[in-house]
């Protein structure tokens, strides 16, 4: 029997490290029980997760495990009585989260020990590199990627083969292959999970790319806020070097390539490839004018290729299984699968990998289980701060680059933030503009000042100070920033505003004309009142009010003094009788 604890960042945050430690102490007393760990399998909503494999390899999955459960688990495993653990076993309904996915980039995540190269090798690890170095030319590799239709998964969806081919054909013997693992979108954690759970798939994919373009050095630019990912990637690089997959004369092929990590300072703009290059060179992360493109003049002004983690994670699978098999999945315009970080007001949040062409409704309701707390779906934010909000009327939109762009959103790196009826869409636009305003590098006027002016207008609107003409002025500002900004950050920053104006214009009008927030979220435009017909005088609301704004006698209806109320919502949260209302 083997017990495996899921120790991705999400699992550790939920207590997986404590669970593992408890198992360590207990397994010392039992023979025949192996203890191991793995990364995130994507089911973040069920962490900590413990997988039990019997001698035949059959899996029993336990979820939401605590330290207090460990002794009972060990006892059941040692006595081969797993039926005693029914209360901890994953439900059939939650199993659908994984059953309805198609996993390529995440194929090993949650299944292997990310710190053990032998487990990766047992899953055909590095066989794609061996095939490439021994049987394929660089041009054949690029052709296979072209057949697959693999597009960059970092957001733009640019054909991967085209970038590789351009770098290969550029003059110069010194070339670089770079991985963009900056991942700055709020709510996005796809790249982090892949590095934490399957770092060798990134190394192998990058090696194949380096061979294709003729690069002798690879650099992974990763956020310093991902310490576990950095630690596991460092260990994987060392293991790959020891086994001869990195360094000089790899697999006696004559091809040599080394790899290193650069921890970035966490600037969102460094997700833009030329700003990333500036940061790599030790400069402030600010975008360069293009052309020249990085394929001609990139890192240290040498030909360079940049893709993100998910893009590289697909490469070894494509080489081993063939580009045609990858291209059979997806749509005419978008091939293969895509990983999404499904977050927000969703029942089952986590990492999702689905074939292109699945609808938003299928992802949110079939895989994600729908909206939690029995509330209604309102919108889904796609593409992070650079994306847009898609309303319920467009839930049957298929997931591919072209279809999502037609809604006003973008695929982005894969953030998918679900919102329910309690979300104010004006407030949501303000949230993303706050982010992009702070993250703007300030190089160009349109982005530096335009995003700030938009943010100030949105702030004024949610505070009840909106004026007639603000909507039209907002739209004019949006298009000015889109047309005038230098890089993708500024050009896409207005998307959250434009899509909420397009699909939820009535909410803007209510804020400006009626001084009301339809969602009841903007504190300046709401007030808390107690329905005397529902209030039983339990005094719980009064006891929890931090400013003593609630008065009333025991077993008598209470009242809120609007002048004292700071609208913190504690009264509503503590009322067991739904007597506190927002108006």
The CATH number corresponding to 2-90 among 3.30.1300.10, 3.40.30.10, 1.10.240.10, 3.40.50.720 equals: 3.40.30.10
- Structure token pair of residue 18: 């404590």
Tokens coding 239: 């293991």
Distance from the Cα of residue 246 to its chain's centroid: 29
pLDDT at 177: 98
**Predicted local distance difference test score (pLDDT) of residue 416:** 93
CATH topology of domain 425-514: de novo design (two linked rop proteins) (1.20.1440)
Q: Are 571 and 528 in contact (CB under 8 A)?
A: yes
What pLDDT band is residue 414 in, cutting at 50, 70 and 90? confident
**pLDDT value, residue 226:** 94
Average pLDDT, integer, range 52-62: 93
Taking domain 117-327, whether its CATH number is 3.40.50.11540 is answered by yes
Residues of the chain with CATH 3.40.30.10: 2-90
Please name which of 140, 143, 160 lies closest in space to residue 152, comparing C-alpha atoms: 160
Would you state the pLDDT for residue 357? 95
Give 493's pLDDT tier (boundaries 50, 70, 90): very high
* Whether the Cβ atoms of residue 190 and residue 183 lie closer than 8 Å to each other: yes
Q: Region 142-168: what's the mean pLDDT?
A: 94
At residue 80, the pLDDT reads 87
Q: What's the pLDDT score for residue 106?
A: 97
Three-state SS across 423-461? CCHHHHHHHHHHHHHHHCCCCCHHHHHHHHHHHHHHHHH
Contact 224, 263 (CB under 8 A): yes
pLDDT 10s digits, 69-107: 999 999 999 888 999 999 999 999 999 999 999 999 999
Assign 50 a pLDDT band (cuts: 50, 70, 90). very high
Quote the CA–CA distance of 147 and 142 in Å, as a whole number.
9
> Residue 156 pLDDT > 80, yes or no?
no
| Res. 334: pLDDT tops 80 | yes
Q: For residue range 314-332, what is the model confidence (pLDDT) as tens digits?
A: 999 999 999 999 999 999 9
| Residue ranges of the chain that CATH labels 3.30.70.20 | 527-582
Sequential DSSP letters for 120-162: HHTTTTTHHHHHHHHH--HHHHHHHHHHHT-B-TTTT--BHHH
Q: How far apart are CA 7 and CA 15, in angstroms?
A: 9
Which of residues 184 and 286 earns the better pLDDT score? 286
Q: List 388's β-bridge partners, or say none.
A: 382
Residue 22: pLDDT above 80? yes
Mean per-residue pLDDT for 282-296?
A: 93
| Mean pLDDT value of segment 479-487 | 92
DSSP string, 370-394: SBGGGPPEEEEEESGGGSEEEEGGG
CATH architecture of 527-582: 2-Layer Sandwich (3.30)
The pLDDT confidence band at residue 396, using thresholds 50, 70 and 90, is very high
> What percent of the chain stands above pLDDT 90?
86
Q: What is the mean pLDDT of residues 129-144?
A: 98
- Residues with Cβ within 8 Å of residue 151, at least 6 apart in sequence: 157, 158, 159, 160, 334, 335, 401
pLDDT for res 30 = 81
- Out of 3.10.20.600, 3.90.100.10, 3.40.50.970, 3.40.50.2000, the CATH code matching 337-420 is 3.10.20.600
List every span in the chain annotated with CATH 3.40.50.11540.
Answer: 117-327
- Tokens 């701060």 sit on residue: 385
Q: Tokens 């069920």 sit at which residue?
A: 46
Q: 156-170, 211-225, 265-279, 496-510: which range is least confident on average?
A: 265-279
pLDDT in the model for residue 140: 98
CA-to-CA distance for 48 and 20, rounded, in angstroms? Answer: 10
Q: Is the pLDDT of residue 155 over 80?
A: no
DSSP label of 91: P
Own/partner contacts of 504-511, CB < 8 Å, gap of 24 or more, are 504/379, 504/389, 504/391, 504/425, 504/426, 505/471, 507/424, 507/425, 507/426, 508/426, 508/461, 508/466, 508/470, 508/471, 509/471, 511/426, 511/461, 511/462, 511/464, 511/466
Q: Is 359 helix (H, G, I), strand (E, B) or coil?
A: strand
* Per-residue confidence band for 265, with pLDDT thresholds at 50, 70 and 90: confident
Give me the pLDDT at residue 63, please. Answer: 97
**Average predicted confidence (pLDDT) for the chain:** 94
> 8-12, 383-387, 400-404: which has the minimum mean pLDDT?
383-387
CATH 1.20.1440.230 in the chain: give the residue spans: 425-514
Concatenated DSSP letters for 260-302? EEEEE---GGGGSHHHHHHHHTTS---PPPSSSPTTTS-GGGS
- Residue 266 clears pLDDT 80, i.e. is over it: no
What average pLDDT does the segment 432-446 reach? 92
369 within 8 A of 346, measured Cβ to Cβ: yes
**How many CB atoms are located within 10 Å of the residue 56 CB?**
5
Q: What is the pLDDT of residue 583?
A: 84
pLDDT score of 157 more than 90: no
Q: What is the pLDDT of residue 1?
A: 87
CATH 3.10.20.600 domain extents, the chain = 337-420
pLDDT for 186: 82
Query: What is the gyration radius of the CA atoms in the chain, in angstroms?
Result: 26
* Tokens read off for 171: 């003059």
pLDDT at residue 216 tops 90: yes
Task: Give the span between the Cα atoms of 188 and 343, in whole angstroms.
Answer: 9
């Amino acid at each position: 029997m083997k017990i495996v604890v899921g120790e991705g960042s999400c699992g550790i945050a939920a207590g997986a490290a404590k669970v593992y430690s408890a198992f360590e102490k207990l397994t010392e007393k039992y023979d025949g029980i192996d203890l191991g760990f793995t990364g995130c399998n994507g089911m973040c909503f069920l962490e900590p997760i413990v997988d039990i494999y019997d001698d035949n390899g059959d899996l029993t999955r336990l979820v939401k495990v605590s330290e207090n459960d460990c002794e009972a688990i060990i006892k059941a495993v040692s006595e081969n009585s797993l039926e005693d653990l029914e209360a901890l076993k994953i439900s059939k309904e939650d199993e659908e989260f994984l059953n309805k996915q198609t996993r390529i980039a995440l194929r090993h995540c949650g299944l292997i020990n990310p710190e053990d190269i032998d487990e990766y090798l047992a899953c055909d690890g590095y066989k794609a590199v061996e095939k490439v170095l021994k049987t394929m030319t660089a041009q054949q590799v690029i052709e296979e990627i072209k057949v697959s239709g693999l597009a960059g998964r970092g957001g733009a969806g640019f054909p991967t083969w085209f970038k590789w081919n351009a770098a290969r054909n550029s003059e110069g013997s010194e070339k670089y292959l770079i991985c963009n693992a900056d991942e700055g979108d709020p709510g996005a954690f796809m790249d982090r999970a892949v590095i934490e759970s399957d770092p060798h798939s990134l190394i192998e994919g990058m090696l194949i790319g380096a061979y294709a373009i003729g690069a002798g050095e690879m650099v992974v630019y990763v956020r310093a806020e991902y310490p576990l990912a950095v630690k596991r990637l460092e260990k994987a690089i060392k293991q790959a070097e020891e086994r001869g997959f990195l360094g000089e004369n790899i697999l006696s092929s004559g091809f040599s390539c080394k790899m290193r990590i650069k921890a970035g300072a966490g600037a969102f703009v460094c997700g833009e490839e030329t700003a990333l290059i500036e940061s790599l060179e030790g400069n402030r992360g600010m975008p360069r004018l293009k052309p020249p493109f990085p394929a001609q003049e990139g890192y240290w002004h040498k030909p360079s290729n940049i893709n993100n983690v998910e893009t590289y994670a697909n490469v070894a699978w494509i080489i081993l299984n063939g580009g045609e098999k990858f291209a059979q999945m997806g749509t005419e315009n978008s091939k293969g699968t895509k990983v999404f970080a499904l977050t927000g007001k969703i029942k089952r949040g986590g990492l999702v990998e689905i074939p292109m062409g699945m609808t938003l409704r299928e992802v949110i309701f079939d895989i994600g289980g729908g909206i939690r707390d029995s509330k209604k779906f309102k919108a889904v934010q796609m593409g992070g701060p650079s994306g847009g909000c898609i309303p319920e009327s467009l839930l049957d939109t298929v997931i591919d680059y072209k279809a999502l762009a037609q809604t006003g959103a973008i695929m982005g790196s894969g953030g998918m933030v679900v919102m329910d009826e309690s979300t104010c869409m004006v407030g949501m636009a303000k949230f993303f503009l706050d982010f992009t305003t702070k993250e703007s590098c300030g190089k160009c006027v349109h982005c530096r000042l335009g995003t700030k002016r938009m943010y100030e207008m949105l702030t004024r609107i949610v505070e009840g100070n909106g004026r007639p003409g603000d909507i039209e002025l907002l739209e004019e500002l949006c298009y000015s920033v889109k047309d005038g900004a230098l890089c993708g950050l500024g050009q896409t920053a207005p998307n959250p505003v434009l899509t909420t104006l397009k699909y939820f214009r009535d909410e803007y009008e209510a804020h400006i004309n009626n001084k009301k927030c339809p969602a009841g979220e903007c504190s300046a435009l709401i007030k808390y009142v107690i329905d005397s017909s529902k209030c039983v005088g339990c005094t719980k609301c009064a006891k929890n009010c931090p400013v003593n704004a609630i008065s009333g006698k025991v077993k008598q209806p209470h009242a809120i003094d609007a002048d004292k109320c700071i609208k913190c919502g504690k009264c509503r949260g503590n009322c067991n009788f739904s007597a506190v209302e927002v108006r």
